[in-house]
Amino acid sequence: MSETPLLSLKKICKSFGPNLILDRVDFELRSGEVRALIGENGAGKSTLIKILSGAYHPDSGQMFISGFPYRPTGPLDGRRQGIAVIYQELNLAPHLTVEENIYLGQEESRFGFMEKKKKRLKVRELLEFLHHPEIQPGSLVKNLPVGARQVVEIIRALISQAKILVMDEPTSSLSQEDTKRLFEVIHKVKAEGVGVIYVSHFLEEVKEIADSFTVLRDGQVVGSGEMAGVSLEELIEMMIGKKLSELYPHFPHRPGEVVMSCQQVQGKKMTGAISLELREGEILGVAGLIGSGRTEFLRTIFGLDRLKEGLVIISGSLVSRLQPGTAINRGLGFLSEDRQTEGLAARMSLADNLTLGYLKPYVKNGLLNNQRQKQAASDWINRLKIKAQSPEQKIWTLSGGNQQKVALARLLHQQAKVFLLDEPTRGIDVQSKTQIYELIGRLAADNRAVIFVSSYFPELLGIGDRIAVFHRGQLVEIKPAADWTEASLMRAAITGKENNSEKNKKVIGANL
């Protein structure tokens, strides 16, 4: 490319304390180009955006806009020099009008009365141009839907003569319809010669809107190029640094006898009754939106919420007096979605946290054998590759992934047969995630049963044998994972309607 790029970053480094967040990052953007910036949580995307906006200063490296050095002193200066960032949580004043918001903090607002008509005309013109004539310049921003607010932000950027538009997860709170309209806006903006940096998790959308991509992983650029030459799977593999087949390892297992049967189970906090069966050696994924009753269902089976109605039958016999204690004795194990406040006792040792549910093996003549308890904990530390210095270490000193492994080890230690796992991979690093998928696979291969609740559909599709979808306290549908796609899961979770229509091709990990 002979022309000078609109934006170019050279060897940008940034660290916080001992942690190197960005490591010699190179990045280029041409005028009229939409470049996707993708990567997992913690890959360094937000830091890079903040450096671009001027909120952070790089430790080393250079930035150029149209060939001229760009060294913003702060976000305001960054904006003046032509970089507009539209954050996920939009930066609009809800009690001001569309027009007031657009001109807020812009030089033009100093002009007097005469300019007012001109300003309004310009806003109208831009709204027409972006195909959003329904937005009234005089209406209050708080009365606008999210999609329209985004358009307001974009117009604000255009009016301030921004040459580079950075959009951080712009579609995360948009409906499909609004997403489509946003893409039209982006096409228009791009035609004006503005460069767009598009940051998103949703790879399918990214594939549709972006011309090129840059992938960050652990603060380094691990791939970049034209969108046309790369597949979705390749993008995911770049992001996670692994083959997809390695991300969801498969351990051969075959579902056997029914080990748990729930009949019309309704807990205190559930809005509907749920019936389902779980077999030995089976991984049952549970999908559903937050508030769909998936967590409440697990808590009810485990006896944490009171059972109002229904039967829980484990290995052929009814569980009476459902309480966590009896549930554990009957072979149930529950992993809380909230590791910090419920799952683990932060100030207790790793050994205590791990063995608390089942101290029996360490008691002799009524006295605990602390030495054997620690020994057992050490064994689990080694088996699950938990990174810890000693079993006596306080649990809060471990990383999120290692904490989660301790919480899982507790269930293994209490010799559970049925694992009720609520969001087991939330908020942990990719490596720990993979290890947890592997662990779940091994459990099934060992003929144990797993119910795996997750908001993240690709992992359900990746490791589940069957997937059940919950909607407003009801079980919508339950069928083999191979018969679901991400789209059909999403549809069922949102609408609560079964979809026996088209059989889409299964795409693993599409919005990782």
Q: What's the closest the beta carbon of residue 154 comes to other proteins, in angstroms?
A: 45
Binder of other proteins out of 159, 258, 313, 346 (CB under 8 A): 346
Our finding on whether 22 is near other proteins (CB under 8 A) is no
Q: Which listed range, 39-47, 188-196, 338-346, 477-485, lies at the site for other proteins (CB under 8 A)?
A: 338-346
Residues 315/269, Cβ–Cβ less than 8 Å: no
**Token pair belonging to 284:** 């049952």
Q: Name the CA radius of gyration of the chain, rounded.
A: 27
Residues 392/349, Cβ–Cβ less than 8 Å: yes
Q: What's the closest the beta carbon of residue 431 comes to other proteins, in angstroms?
A: 24
**Token pair belonging to 432:** 């720990």
Residue among 215 and 327 whose Cβ is closer to other proteins:
327
Our finding on whether 191 is near other proteins (CB under 8 A) is no
Q: Which of residues 260-319 bind other proteins (CB under 8 A)?
A: 304
How far is Cα 231 from Cα 225, in angstroms, rounded to an integer? 12
Binder of other proteins out of 161, 389, 415, 431 (CB under 8 A): 389
Our finding on whether 387 is near other proteins (CB under 8 A) is no
Residue among 266 and 353 whose Cβ is closer to other proteins:
353
Q: Which of residues 355-374 bind other proteins (CB under 8 A)?
A: 356-357, 359, 363, 366-368, 370
Binder of other proteins out of 353, 404, 432, 435 (CB under 8 A): 353
Binder of other proteins out of 336, 402, 425, 435 (CB under 8 A): 336
How far is Cα 142 from Cα 239, in angstroms, rounded to an integer? 37
Residues 218/43, Cβ–Cβ less than 8 Å: yes
Of 268, 372, 272, 380, nearest to 322 by C-alpha is 268
Residue among 102 and 388 whose Cβ is closer to other proteins:
388
Residues 130/183, Cβ–Cβ less than 8 Å: no
Our finding on whether 343 is near other proteins (CB under 8 A) is yes
DSSP secondary structure of 368-401: E-HHHHHHHHHHHHHHTT---S-TTSBGGGS-HH
Binder of other proteins out of 95, 116, 347, 472 (CB under 8 A): 347
How far is Cα 338 from Cα 282, in angstroms, rounded to an integer? 24
Our finding on whether 392 is near other proteins (CB under 8 A) is yes
Q: Which listed range, 45-53, 189-197, 228-236, 340-348, lies at the site for other proteins (CB under 8 A)?
A: 340-348
DSSP secondary structure of 54-109: TSS--SEEEEEETTEE---SSHHHHHHTTEEEE-SS----TTSBHHHHHHTT-GGG
Q: Which listed range, 10-18, 84-92, 195-203, 336-344, lies at the site for other proteins (CB under 8 A)?
A: 336-344
Our finding on whether 32 is near other proteins (CB under 8 A) is no
Which residues in this chain contact other proteins in the complex, by CB under 8 A?
A: 304, 323-329, 334, 336, 341-348, 352-353, 356-357, 359, 363, 366-368, 370, 378, 389-390, 392, 394, 397, 410
